[in-house]
Amino acid sequence: MADNITEQETLYQLNDEAKKIIPNIYKIWNDIGYDVNTIKLFSKDIFNNTRALWSEMLQETEERKYNLTKKVEMLRKQISILEKKLNLDVIPTIYENEPLAILEAKLKNHFNNLEQIKEERLTEAKRLLQKEQLLCKSLGMKPVGMNNSLPTEEELENFSLYLTEKEDEFRTLKESFKNIRESVKKMMAEMSYTPKYDFERLICNNHEDFIFSPTNMAELQELHNRIKDDLENMKKTAENKRHELINLWRYLDISEKDYREFLKKHSGFDTSTIAALNDEIAKCKGIRTENIARFVQKLREDLIFWWDTCKFSKIQRDAFRPMRYETFTEDILTLHELELARVQKFYNENSAIYELLNKREEMWDQMKELQHRAEDPDRFHNRGGQLLAEEKMRKYFNKNLPKVEIELQSLMVDYETKHGIPFTINGLTFEEYIKQQVDEHKAEMETLKQARVKARDEKKSAKKTPLSASRRTPGVATSIRAIQTSLKRKQVDRSPLATLNKAPRMANSENSRPKAHGSKIRRSSRVVRRLLGSSMNKGRSPRKLMNATKTVDSTTSTACSSTSKETPVYQEFKEYLGNRDELRSTIVPESDISIVKPKKKPVKTPVKPTRKHLSPRITPITPRVTPSRYMLQILPRVRG
């Protein structure tokens, strides 16, 4: 309706204008004097011109409408294409009853928005592609790019994630390169090494141009490993050179102060240090060659020590023939050095076996010592709790010695499996070695037993000596008086493992007191018997009485040894009196004499035995055994 009103208004306006203009035109024509035909012609022209103008205007309007329609269609197509390229899920807008101009404006606005999205995506894609170019150049790889010239949002996001991963990879490789490069430069500095190859110079001097490709990174790691191996080899070489030099210096009897100064001056392991060590070795070897016989002899002494340590048999030792050579050359010296190195290497490879073997030897020796102590007849005298300690030790060894032997057997089985030959000890297998030790111990104990039996028989069959063989004035007699001892216990630091006999007092000792004042009146033998049967001897065992008698006998025999040779007549006189039973002056037989000692205050057995040990009394056929380090370690634990 609005359109109709507008159209009607236009018609009214045109009509009003026509009514104003047309009469004026006709008036002018009349004033001019145009005739009717001319005025008719002019009127027709006015109509035609007006109609042509209106037709032109109509045509122009129709063309504008057509153009708008075409533009709208074109915009629709472009929008559709952009939406497809941009992969936008857009719900199509329905423009019904929309004027063409408004429709064209809306479509143009929508198209501009799509164009902006397109430009943003293209800009982002360009930025990501440039970033990829830089990363791929640094990583030494070919760019992947994008499949579409106008990527979608999803494609841009995926490509961005891909570049993020490459950036992380680049940072990781760069950090790794930095660490490896610093390590390589540090090791080269320690070695005093100057880069020689292009890749080495690239790493050390032009690291900004380094491409983090897989090939270059692998080569970098290979360079690092090579430098590291070279460094370790140089360290080992320098250490071996120093060890060789120290041995040479010791062989040459060079003072430690002198060669310590040299080692302090050349304490590194670079090329110059190794060269200096080589020069010193060559110098020392030259001196050694001049004194080769002395060095061969030293090597032989070392060889014997290591052979003993490894318990090599005579066959194994004789296999090294240069040991018996009398001609000394550089080759002989080298052979001795190689043999010494071989034996030392053998010991180091089997150190576990030798350590256990030495431990077993210590335990075996301790068990033998305990058995020797058990055979001592005086072991029960004033032991101070040592018997209990010995029993604990015996139980400990009986429990742990088989464990050590089982472990040794296992190690030797492994050795035989690995090398194909049994492990030998002095040429014997482990079983044969143990059997030999047991047999030797049995034979030793049997010999000891026979020696004790023989000694006991000799004591029984020995001729009894008189109470006193000294020359006395007739009628002068000496009564035997017991030695008075203090009731206070003497704190003597003695080992409870053995009971040592006290040295008897000599007749002329300062501490000895006269037994009795002599009298020239001849005394009856009953006095002596009364003395021997006094109350001081009550309760004493025959063994103690016999020991006391033997003590006095030994003192008496010592005092009389000097006079017996000068007075053979007295010996004959004594034998004569011994055969005359009817004579009252007959010397009392030794078997009827015993020295009476006062009872000592009983000594209580201490709760904890003394920790200070004295060497036990051992028979001559048994070697003295010193407690080993292992026993000193376990004794406190056993006593506890």
pLDDT in tens, 120-159: 999 999 999 999 999 888 888 888 888 878 888 888 899 9
Structure-model confidence comparison of residues 13 and 560, the more confident one: 13
Averaged pLDDT for residues 615-628: 41
Q: Are 593 and 467 in contact (CB under 8 A)?
A: yes
Number of neighbours of residue 390 by Cβ within 10 angstroms: 20
pLDDT at 565 over 60: no
Higher pLDDT, 44 or 500: 44
- Residue 132: CB atoms within 10 A of its CB come to 19
* Single-letter residue type at 247: N
Res. 536: pLDDT tops 90: no
The pLDDT of residue 343: 94
Q: Which helix (H) or strand (E) holds 139?
A: helix 100-139
pLDDT of residue 194: 84
Q: Is 108 left (phi over 0), alpha (psi -120 to 50) or beta?
A: alpha
Q: Which residues of 156-185 are buried (b: 16+ CB within 10 A; e: fewer)?
A: beebeeebeebeeebeebeeebeebbeebb
Confidence band, pLDDT 50/70/90 cuts, at residue 4: low
Structure tokens at 302: 């070392």
Q: How far apart are CA 75 and CA 62, in angstroms?
A: 20
Q: What is the pLDDT of residue 70?
A: 92
Indicate whether 570 pLDDT > 60.
Answer: no
User: In this model, does residue 22 exceed pLDDT 80?
Assistant: yes
Backbone angles phi and psi of 62, in degrees to 5: -65, -40
Higher pLDDT, 222 or 617: 222
- Enter the DSSP assignment of 428: B
Average pLDDT, the chain: 75
**pLDDT score recorded for residue 620:** 41
Find the DSSP H helices in 475-541: 525-532
Give the C-alpha separation, 159 to 140, whole Å.
Answer: 19
Is pLDDT at 351 greater than 70 in this prediction? yes
Write out the two tokens for 388: 């209990």
- Range 446-482 burial, b when 16+ CB lie within 10 A, else e: eebeeeeeeeeeeeeeeeebbbbbeeeeeeebbebeb
Q: Return d(Cα 571, Cα 531) in angstroms, integer.
A: 26
| CA distance linking residue 248 with residue 464, whole number of Å | 69
pLDDT, residue 154, reads 87
Residue 369's pLDDT band (cuts 50, 70, 90): confident
DSSP character for 599? P
Instruction: State the average pLDDT over residues 457-475.
Output: 58
| pLDDT of 466 higher than 60 | no
Mean pLDDT of 9-29: 90
| The pLDDT value given to residue 261 | 83
Q: What is the pTM of this model?
A: 0.42
The pLDDT, as a whole number, for residue 478 is: 41
pLDDT confidence bin for 310, thresholds 50/70/90: very high
Percent of the chain whose pLDDT exceeds 90 = 25
For residue 591, pLDDT over 60 is answered with no
Q: Compare 501 and 68 and report the one with higher pLDDT.
A: 68
Is the pLDDT confidence value at 162 over 70? yes
pLDDT exceeds cutoff 60 at 567: no
Residue 384 pLDDT grade (very low, low, confident, very high; cuts 50, 70, 90): low
Instruction: Please state, in angstroms and rounded to a whole number, the distance separating the CA atoms of residues 598 and 535.
Output: 10
Query: Is residue 347 over pLDDT 90?
Result: yes
Residue 424: CA atoms inside 13 Å, Cβ hemisphere, count? Answer: 11
pLDDT for 410:
92
Asked whether the beta carbons of 262 and 280 are under 8 A apart, the reply is yes
Confidence grade of residue 119 (pLDDT, cut at 50, 70, 90): very high
Most confident of 61-65, 80-84, 149-153, 260-264: 61-65
Min mean pLDDT across 148-157, 197-206, 600-609, 624-633 is at 624-633
- The pLDDT value recorded for residue 190 is 85
pLDDT (0 to 100) of residue 563 = 40
What's the pLDDT score for residue 58?
A: 92
Q: What is the pLDDT of residue 459?
A: 82
Q: Burial, 56: exposed, middle or buried (Cβ in 10 Å; 0-12, 13-18, 19+)? A: exposed
Domains, the chain, with CATH or none: 353-460 (1.20.58.1520), 526-558+577-604 (no CATH)
Mean pLDDT in residue range 489-508: 39
